Amino acid sequence: MQDSFAISFRAGLAFLLAVAGGIVSALVGISHKKLCGLISLAAGTLMGVTLFSILPESAADMRWWELAIALGSGYVVFFLISKYVYHVCPACAASHFDKATTHRFSEIATALIIALAIHSTLDGVALAAGHEASHATIHGGHGKLDLSVLLAVCVHKVPEGLALGALLLGAGFKRVNAVAWVATVEVTTIIGGVLGLWVLRTVSMFWLGAVLAHAGGGFMFLAVHAVLGEMVTHSKPAIIINFVAGVVLIALLNLAIRTL
């Protein structure tokens, strides 16, 4: 029961932050230029949680080649979805959503919703896996991974909601309808959390590590894609500074938790 509440709370918080981003976008309007710094910071937190939390945790229960396969699979899945369905994250690929794209939104709406729903579902699964792995007795239940994944996903959800809301408004949606669509798509984060809770509760530490590494591979794809995309149209030094700040934020969080 305690795990159910904890994971539901984490997934629900991530969902609410994404919806809040959609509401802000609908009320005041957010340009790509204003989103740039937040996108880069969020990308840094995703990279940081993969490097400093997910990989060390997964490596404790997996051989190096098993870890490499799990990590690579997450990267490849998001790559294939982005290439053959649509970009898995409007914020991470904000540079692709120009005026021409928004005006033909009806043509790409289904593909975008499917891609983003898969992305958000995996966010929820990652939250559940992080919580389960952190509180497994074999690793002492220190909670470092749990908080790191939660922070990275929540920071990432804000620009995701902002970007999706801006895209819907640009496509001609009314404000209320835009927010409703953001909520509809992002509720899959909660579905992913529930799914993760149901599936991962009884699995071995090996499979928890594999799921985490798979999620980490997806996070790495999002981080790399976001940074490279922003560098095409914005100041490279500012992007790099914000990205590094996100990585350092997760590193400092891990250090603080370890010393408690």
Would you say residue 129 lies in a domain?
yes
Residue 61 lies in a domain: yes
User: pLDDT at position 71, please?
Assistant: 97
Q: What is the mean pLDDT of residues 182-198?
A: 93
Residue 168's domain spans which residues?
2-24+34-259
**Confidence at residue 89, expressed as pLDDT on a 0 to 100 scale:** 79
Count of domains forming the chain: 1
Q: What is the mean pLDDT of the chain?
A: 85
Q: What is the pLDDT of residues 61-105, one digit of tens each?
A: 899 999 999 999 999 999 999 888 877 877 666 555 555 455 556
> How much is the average pLDDT of 105-118?
76
Is 29 a member of any domain?
Answer: no
pLDDT tens-digit readout, 21-57: 999 988 886 666 667 788 889 999 999 999 999 999 8
pLDDT at 237 over 80: yes
Stretch 147-165: mean pLDDT: 91
- Taking residue 170's Cβ as centre, other Cβ atoms within 10 Å add up to 17
Residue 167 is assigned to a structural domain of this protein? yes
**Is residue 251's pLDDT more than 70?**
yes
What is the share, in percent, of the chain residues with pLDDT greater than 70?
84
* Spatial contact of 19 and 160, defined as CB atoms under 8 Å apart: no
